[in-house]
Amino acid sequence: MSKIKHCYFYDTKKQYLFRQSASICAFSGDSSWVILSEIEQRIKAKIEAIGTPLKEWGINIYRGILTGYNEAFIIDKHKRDELIAEDPKSAEIIRPILRGRDIKKYGYDFADLWLINVHNGIKEKGITPIKIDDYPAIKKHLDNFYVQLAKRTDKGDTPYNLRNCAYMDDFFRQKIIYPEITKFLNFYLDDVHFVTNNKCFILTGEKLNFLTAFFNSSLFKYCFKDNFPELLGGTRELRKVFLEGIPILRINEESDKLFENLLNKWKELKNASKQTTDLEQQIDNMIFQLYDLTAEEINEIGFIDI
């Protein structure tokens, strides 16, 4: 059923209310809504009509690792080097970690932090828990925090082990990493096999090159920013339930390969300390073409870099 929504403004000097404008908007169900202009409604409806909800793609979304006591399990470079110098075997279970604040558009800022990945195995796959006695230098380090580790509710078979994580091996695959709460809607395609803390999500599965480009695109920000709840300070909450409902155009492997080439070019430019704006606009234009947007619609969206 259509309803007429009116916008009113109060003039404190003249002490009266007046109607500024009115538009016909269709609302259905109990979902949250925002008031859009006519062209905004048209673009959003067009994009949604040809998309498939992300939850129907061949993807998985998981939260990052919750240690229960970061002071013990997340270490800096100095402590990492010290543990490896004391026992080279320590390097086997020390992994680079990214936090939500480290994720940037297409990339990351590595804070040189490392996770002691004393994982609890994956019983469904026959992977046994890490035995701390096999890593004496790490055990010695963790013993400094034993009282706190033993009190954790988030622990594995022993106080030294992290909690059960059935998707632990997904951290060692190609994946998209994105922060749970962010002002900037940043997504990074990871081939380095970072682990992440619980302030990030990871997304594994199909067409990851295109999805990375789409999530970083002006089109995504224009159409779907308001699908994510706004929190204090202008941040957005990118929880799984919100992201997996986004309808996205399905593409073929050939098209995904084109986006892979562009993402690799972005990395080359970034590594050479060169500007990437032109390339990001090129990626935007490729996405506009995929969605068959008109010149008017493209001009309305513009280049959104937040």
pLDDT tens, 98-133?
999 999 999 999 999 999 999 999 988 889 999 999
Instruction: Give the rounded percent of residues in the chain with a pLDDT score beyond 90.
Output: 83
Neighbours of 192 (CB within 10 A): 10
Tens of each residue's pLDDT in the chain, 306 residues:
333 333 433 344 434 333 444 444 544 444 445 567 888 999 999 999 999 999 999 999 999 999 999 999 999 999 999 999 999 999 999 999 999 999 999 999 999 999 999 999 998 888 999 999 999 999 999 999 999 999 999 899 999 999 999 999 999 999 999 999 999 999 999 999 999 999 999 999 999 999 999 999 999 999 999 999 999 889 999 999 999 999 999 999 999 999 999 999 999 999 999 999 999 999 999 999 999 999 999 999 999 987
Encoded tokens for 246: 């986004």
Alpha-carbon distance of 66 to 155, in angstroms, equals 9
Q: pLDDT tens digit string along 38-65?
A: 889 999 999 999 999 999 999 999 999 9
- pTM above threshold 0.85: yes
**What is residue 173's predicted lDDT score, i.e. its pLDDT?**
96
Nearest by Cα to 242 from 258, 255, 230:
230
**What is residue 5's predicted lDDT score, i.e. its pLDDT?**
39
**What is residue 34's predicted lDDT score, i.e. its pLDDT?**
55
**What is residue 298's predicted lDDT score, i.e. its pLDDT?**
97
Nearest by Cα to 163 from 207, 117, 126:
117
Contact 212, 188 (CB under 8 A): yes
Alpha-carbon distance of 94 to 112, in angstroms, equals 12
Neighbours of 21 (CB within 10 A): 9
**What is residue 126's predicted lDDT score, i.e. its pLDDT?**
87
**What is residue 306's predicted lDDT score, i.e. its pLDDT?**
73
Contact 65, 162 (CB under 8 A): yes
**What is residue 16's predicted lDDT score, i.e. its pLDDT?**
38
